[in-house]
Amino acid sequence: TKLATVQQATKAAVDAINARWSGVPASVETTQEPILQAGNKQQVLQISVAVETSTNCLHGGSAIHCGKGAPNPSKLGIEAAEMAMNSIETGACVDEFVQDQIIIFMALAQGASSVRMGKLTPHTETALVIV
């Protein structure tokens, strides 16, 4: 059932976080929606994971299945959790999805600005060139 699939993804994400970092609280949100695409019903399962560090840094991860056939909710839950945990382990203060967006605010701020980032994405490199 839909609820069981969502619960599987959520449990897998929490279990993956607890396996790597015991005692770290995790906030996990999942959604599953059928969509109609080109006349064929597709199975869609999306999971987002947010992990907040002890220094109040928030890192996210997500995974999605969109296609024919049943999604593997446990695999998606683990993939999303690993994305968030890998981001934290870089030592960055922001995840890869925020780092390009924060550059504009740094450019507009008075005085010098700095932020610890992980590996630069193409979006981040573009923002640095434009600003």
Closest Cα to residue 16, out of 71, 80, 110? 80
| 90 CB burial (10 A radius; 0-12, 13-18, 19+) | middle
Tokens standing for residue 77: 């839950």
Q: Is 123 among the catalytic positions?
A: yes
Give the single-character DSSP code of 1: -
Task: Choose, from 73, 84, 123, 125, the residue flagged as catalytic.
Answer: 123
Q: Amino acid identity of 16? A: A
Query: Where in the sequence numbering do the catalytic residues fall?
Result: 123
